[in-house]
Amino acid sequence: MSQETPFDIVTRHLVMEKDLNAFGNLFGGNMLAWIDEASALYVMEQIGFANFVTVSFDDVNFKAPARRGDQVYISCRILKTGRSSITVETIAEIHAPVTGSHEETIRCKVTFVCLTDNKPFAYFESEDYKKFRLQKTQT
């Protein structure tokens, strides 16, 4: 039986009036921007490299709307790495402080590609990555 890597909470957002559409629901584009940013922050911290770009969002399905006053928790975990790419699974959950309810609103995959000179860079095969991993295991 394989044990899945746990998710790490990366960030939280309070849904405010400026984030809403005319019907009082969080704009989907705002949620996707929060997910992209949280996923990127998580990747930077996990791999010790910051020059990368988002190349895809997969399996994005909105399951429930967030409303004004809700808290959105965004959590991530690494699914896989390639030579220059990394894919994370990201979950956005709605926490309603008044009722105490928790509901998953999105579970998706976000893939990033590491760059150097604006071209894909095989960071995960580099000496820098090997050193970073060694340092991380020693702390």
Q: What is the pLDDT of residues 109-128, one digit of tens each?
A: 999 999 999 999 999 999 99
Please state, in angstroms and rounded to a whole number, the distance separating the CA atoms of residues 11 and 105.
15
- Number of domains forming the structure of the chain: 1
Which residues form the domain of 105? 8-138
| 12: in domain | yes
pTM for the model stands at 0.92
In one-letter notation, the amino acid at residue 89 is E
Residue 2, in any domain of the structure: no
CATH number at residue 123: 3.10.129.10
Q: What is the pLDDT of residues 27-82, one digit of tens each?
A: 999 999 999 999 999 999 999 999 999 999 999 999 999 999 999 999 999 999 99
Q: Write the DSSP assignment of the chain as a string of letters.
A: -PPPPPPEEEEEEE--GGGB-TTSBBPHHHHHHHHHHHHHHHHHHHHT---EEEEEEES----S--BTT-EEEEEEEEEEE-SSEEEEEEEEEEEETTTTEEEEEEEEEEEEEEEETTEE--GGGSHHHHHHHHHHHH-
In a domain, 3, yes or no: no
